[in-house]
Amino acid sequence: MGELTVDEVRTRVTDLLGELRERAQETEDLRKVHDESIKSLEAAGFFLLLQPARYGGLEADPVEFYRTVTDIASACGSTGWVASILGLHPWHLALFDDKAQREVWGEDKNARISSSYAPMGKAKIVEGGYRLSGRWSFSSGCDHATWVFLGGPVLDEENNPVDFCTYLLPIADYQIIDVWDTVGLRGTGSNDILVEDVFVPGHRVLSFKDMARCSGPGQEVNESPIYKLPYGTVHPSCITAPIIGMARGAYEAHVSYMGERVRAAYAGEQSKEDPFAKVRIAEAASEIDAAWLQLSRNVAEELELVRAGKTIPMPMRTRARRDQVRGTERSIAAIDRLFENSGGRALRNGTPIQRFWRDAHAGRVHAANDPERAYVLYGTGEFGLPVRDAMV
């Protein structure tokens, strides 16, 4: 049998969508992605898409990764969300010192990493590395990972912040605190991570300053152009992609439902004959398509520049952030329109439309989906002012 290809992964994932859809309610009830779903995605090769070839990965075009994420999320929002985040982290690890990569993948190319990048902890510089402490929230999929990325400032002797870094820790160095009980994305298991005065060696720490410059020690061994893309495009897009997928899932569920719905309040009129329902469906479809086209265009154009050996200009990077948050807004607007069009039976627990509605609105509150902040960054650049933000 030949080597696994991106097309084969996409085909295998497509074949899994039925079982992921069937497990959606159970995943929500479990408050984490079903173990069998993770096993199936691993067997399909999904988590290898953005992983370096040196460690068995495919170094896939990120657009193909995001496309596959939208497929997964169209079947189960929580599974798509976790798959996107866990599937993105091999790209991030590829930027680290190769010693860190060997520690994670040297014995198990399928080792997974969860994350919580928000600055909820702090580190002190010590000989050979850092001492890290804190409690981080929202580590999606942490029950399916054996490593974690944590964000936090570096403090000097006077407790002044001198850097902001990502710290990579093995599961032996942290505790998972089960706190996840929410109205949306209930199946993501986004629990807390507790770290108590742990030593993190320097090779397992990466500064956001380096990521803002699209650089990292891992680029010395991982030469694929995908590892030269801006973190501020690649990571936020992995937050929007599953929300676009949820909108597609809501659309498919809605159209199927409306094909059979009879409206008692309108003398037994069939919804599929209602012209106003057709208008709302068309509006939703347009918003979903626009969300995907904007997100995929920006990633594709940035990758094209990198492949040509060119620097990605800041206006393009701020446009990518602008369109990424706009993609989230468009997707949620589409789901809202479909939900309004679904009638009272859509409110019942267990129906796909209400689950997608809750999941998408839960995903909206992620920090990467703050529209005003992204729009201000874009506007700042348009006025010719310097843009300083690690997320671009």
Dihedral sign for Cα 22, 48, 185, 142, please: positive
User: How confident is the model over 160-213, as pLDDT tens digits?
Assistant: 999 999 999 999 999 999 999 999 999 999 999 999 999 999 999 999 999 999
Average pLDDT, the chain: 93
Q: How far apart are CA 20 and CA 26, in angstroms?
A: 10
Per the CB < 8 A criterion, the answer to whether 67 and 116 are in contact is no
Q: How far apart are CA 241 and CA 331, in angstroms?
A: 10
What integer is the mean pLDDT of 223-244? 97
**15: exposed, middle or buried (C-beta count within 10 Å: 0-12, 13-18, 19+)?**
exposed
What integer is the mean pLDDT of 94-103? 98
185 Cβ neighbours under 8 A, 6+ residues apart: 77, 78, 81, 140, 358, 359, 362, 363
pLDDT score of 152 more than 60? yes
* pLDDT class of 261 with cuts at 50, 70, 90: low
Q: How far apart are CA 82 and CA 288, in angstroms?
A: 21
**Residue 291: predicted pLDDT:** 98
**Residue 226: predicted pLDDT:** 98
196 phi/psi in degrees, rounded to 5: -120, 100
**Residue 267: predicted pLDDT:** 44
Q: How far apart are CA 335 and CA 245, in angstroms?
A: 11
User: How confident is the model over 332-385, as pLDDT tens digits?
Assistant: 999 999 998 877 777 788 889 999 999 999 999 999 999 999 999 899 988 888
Q: How far apart are CA 68 and CA 14, in angstroms?
A: 8
User: How confident is the model over 36-57, as pLDDT tens digits?
Assistant: 999 999 999 999 999 999 999 9
pLDDT score of 257 more than 80? no
Give the global pTM: 0.95
Q: How far apart are CA 359 and CA 347, in angstroms?
A: 14
